[in-house]
Structure 1
């Protein structure tokens, strides 16, 4: 880490690291296949320390679930700060989509989401299960924004106070969701696929996202409080859209017309817009 920081990732060679360790370069290659693999393992070790600390806090039964939530939030702030500064030490990090470092970041994000999910349900009970991923998204977003602000502003911050403040706000949002019982923005099926792909260090394929979103469209139409004639019209549009998007080269004029029809039903606007984006992505890849 010290050599990477001093020379930059790109300028550092395996020979530099081997020399500093007092071993032959070949010996280092027996442990790490590449410089990027070595970098990943350094960060993985740091991340594992964070997860081990989270497990220690979760297993402390002398604390209430809410107290554990506050302590874990406090530790998240400390970890993000350490992680952000360590990354800022370097430049030219290997961030290509299929690289080992990018895969590691996806895996770490999925592990963190799983940890957050367990924490949220422990604090607010199984009643939040349906909406837990929306709560987790709000929680992660708050943490991220506070961390950005605390690295931009030079004033000292009380992270324990900040953790308590964040959990207070989570209490309020959880109570609001339990009272109003909204349909989730991030549903269990979508998040399960996202996390599973992340744990394997890859994205959910666009075609798979398209298939899942079409399935959600069909089920949502079935549950609409509309006349039978209107439901039949929307079903026909959805089936035509499914057939067209299954084609290797979908006709975008027809796709946009069908999506426009679906968007006339306000409950379908969000799903139809997602489908439009996925179809445009598929078209761009073909071009």
Structure 2
């Protein structure tokens, strides 16, 4: 993503939150970015397209963050708790991966935005199922859709009470509570195995989602972040020799990521070198090592 495109996106996120989607115009965003309105249309055909980009970016940011948790190779239980805690934190910051509050929402009659939101909900549901299967394994295989529905419901309902009911719930306590209620559900399945309610036949729409395709976007995002870093380096207020060194670091980083077994210690060292420049730190912090 180019520097200007990122600036437009961040401006839109802030203005939609402050003024509301309907009250914010493309001209407002252009003025905030100190650019001509036509510059925005080079990247986004409409305000609707811009809003859709925000939705997609938020979900991708969430997926990247969860992958980062998994890469820490913590014990299974700790990973499970951290993933739940992150979901709560994410929704408190962004609402139900749609908006921080109702003020930011676009008109409800937008078919295009509605279709995108529906797809994001499908993606999220399957992502939750992936979390549960990794933690509980075969214990829920027959009831994977029912377990996911309960897990999804717990997170959404309690987040609603935190966001809109302003209930004073401690997030750490809530995280453990949700994890233990899922434990209770799984133990109950073993003691009194019921007939699954949500079958593969009923959940065909969800089964068609390719989780590998979702995580594959991480590779594309990584490449885009490195493109951004390369575009910023020539404009840094540093010596030409340092610019040359940084450009070589990016080349080395790209090469390492293409290897079948990238050396994570080298990747981390290269990222630290790039991060020493303040202007690059925001982008390097989002580059994830490749899972081996």
- CA deviations 1:257-277 (Å, max 9, x no partner) are xxxxxxxxxxxxxxxxxxxxx
Alignment-derived partner of residue 109 in structure 2: 96
Q: Once the 2 structures are TM-superposed, how far is the Cα of residue 129 of structure 1 from its aligned partner?
A: 1.1
- Higher-Rg structure is 1
What is the DSSP-based 3-state SS (H/G/I as helix, E as strand, rest coil) of the residue aligned with 1:182?
A: coil
List structure 1 segments (4+ residues) > 6 angstroms apart after TM superposition: none
What's the TM-score, normalizing by structure 1? Answer: 0.62
* Cα separation, partners in 2 of 1:55 and 1:4, compared to 1, 3 Å: same
Distance 1:42 1:155 in 2: 28
Match of 1:71 in 2: 82
Measure, in 1, the Cα distance between the counterparts of 2:209 and 2:130: 19
Q: How far does the alpha carbon of each residue in 1:76-101 deviate from its partner, in whole angstroms, 9 at most, with x for none?
A: 111111122944262561322622x2
Give the 5 Å matches for 1:106-185.
Answer: 106-154=118-166, 156-185=168-197
Go from structure 1 to structure 2 and tell me whether the alpha carbon gap of 1:95 and 1:89 turns closer, same or farther (over 3 Å shift). closer
Quote how far apart the aligned CAs of 1:150 are: 1.9
Q: Per-residue CA shift, 1:131-156, capped at 9, x if unaligned?
A: 01101111111111211222344454
Pick the aligned partner of 2:200 from 150, 175, 188.
188
Choose the corresponding residue for 2:24, options 3, 12, 23: 12
Contact 1:110 1:198 in 2 (8 A): no
**Secondary structure at the counterpart of residue 183 of structure 1:** coil
Cα distance in 2 for partners of 1:148, 1:169 equals 18
Q: Which runs of 5+ in 2 are unaligned?
A: 1-12, 212-292
User: Secondary structure of 1:125's match?
Assistant: helix
Provide the C-alpha distance between the structure 1 equivalents of 2:63 and 2:167, rounded to a whole number of angstroms. 29
Aligned-pair Cα RMSD in Å: 2.4
Alignment TM-score, normalising by the size of structure 2: 0.61
Aligned residues: 197
Give SS of 1:168's match.
helix
2:36 alignment partner in structure 1: 24
Cα gap change, 1:155/1:188 in structure 2, threshold over 3 Å: closer, same or farther? Answer: closer
3-state DSSP of counterpart to 1:31: coil
Distance (Å, rounded) in 2 between the aligned partners of 1:23 and 1:13: 14
Report the Cα offset of residue 35 of structure 1: 0.2
